[in-house]
Structure 1
Amino acid sequence: MFSGSLLVFFIVSILLFGSAAYMMGRAVAGQWQSIHLLIGYSALLTIFERFILFALFQQDLLSILGYLFDLALIYGFALLGYRLMQVHKMVTQYPWLYEKVTPLNWREKQSV
């Protein structure tokens, strides 16, 4: 991770695998699954990312620091996708109960 160029990191880690992690988080939330599943799925996606970086760009495959950094990045994108989808589903499936406050938060509707 640290021995490669910044362009490779941006394209592969952020654009490609970050968007895959974001969609993974949306898929887990869309099925009403537990947020804890994201940890295992993120670990598997990170292993695949490290292999792609190793095979295509000659980066270290077994770099613990690189793996942990990539895992944190992928898990962050997955959490973002999960939370955005969870808020969307709560306010669209229960519009009489909840309203969107921010893109990452909802609240109970105030009774009038």
Structure 2
Amino acid sequence: MASKADPGRASSPLLIGPLVVIAVLVVLIALWPQDLIGASLGDFLLVTLFLGGAAAWRTGKAVAQGWAPFLQLVFYCLLLAGAVRFCHFALFEDELLSLEPFAVEFVLLTSIATLGFRAHRKRQMTVQYGWMYEPAGKLAWRPKTFG
């Protein structure tokens, strides 16, 4: 049985947290789209979700691959959110220094990057330490049981 300190468990904050945050953001954006995203929905989907989200996923995987601490991932997502905000400004004449859209982009990109981090860390733990851990779902692992 996995203990609460087991980072690979399916109820880990690094797995549940990003999923809850993404669900809450979807609801909030559906209720107040113009206030939270600052751009049209199409611009938001293209730049923030598809381009920024793909970059965030790869950033999470890269940080995990280098066995870097999670705080480094948060710093990279801060930079990535700034780059996404600049793309909105340069391509669609959106406000560059707008707090609400930047915060939404940062939280969304950090959540996506965390899931990418988690996916790669699960692979690392089950492949590199296959004698000790086994997969427990798409983004979780558990200690192997012998006997």
Do the structures match in fold with TM over 0.5?
Answer: yes
Q: Identify the residue that residue 87 of structure 1 maps to in structure 2.
A: 122
Cα 1:111–1:74 change in 2 (3 A) is same
| Deviation >6 Å, runs of 4+ | none
Map 1:69-80 onto structure 2 (within 5 A): 69-80=104-115
Q: 1:39 and 1:8 mapped to 2: Cα distance?
A: 24
The offset of 1:2, in angstroms, is 3.4
Q: Report the counterpart of residue 17 of structure 1 in structure 2.
A: 52
Q: Percent identity, aligned pairs only?
A: 37
Instruction: Say if 2:71 is the partner of 1:36.
Output: yes
Q: Does residue 53 in structure 1 map to residue 88 in structure 2?
A: yes
Residue of structure 1 in register with 2:101 after alignment? 66
2:136 aligned with 1:101, yes or no?
yes
Q: Does the residue aligned with 1:102 lie in a helix, a strand or coil?
A: coil
Normalising by structure 2, we get a TM-score of: 0.74
Q: CA RMSD in A?
A: 1.0
TM-superposed deviation, 1:73? 0.7
Measured in 2, the distance between the counterparts of 1:5 and 1:111 equals 54
**Inter-partner Cα distance in structure 2 for 1:74 and 1:45:** 8
* Structure 2 residue runs without a partner (length 5+): 1-35
Matched length:
112
Match of 2:134, SS?
strand
Give CA-to-partner distance per residue, 1:32-76, whole Å, 9 cap, x none: 111111111000011111111001101111111111000001101
SS of aligned partner of 2:136: strand
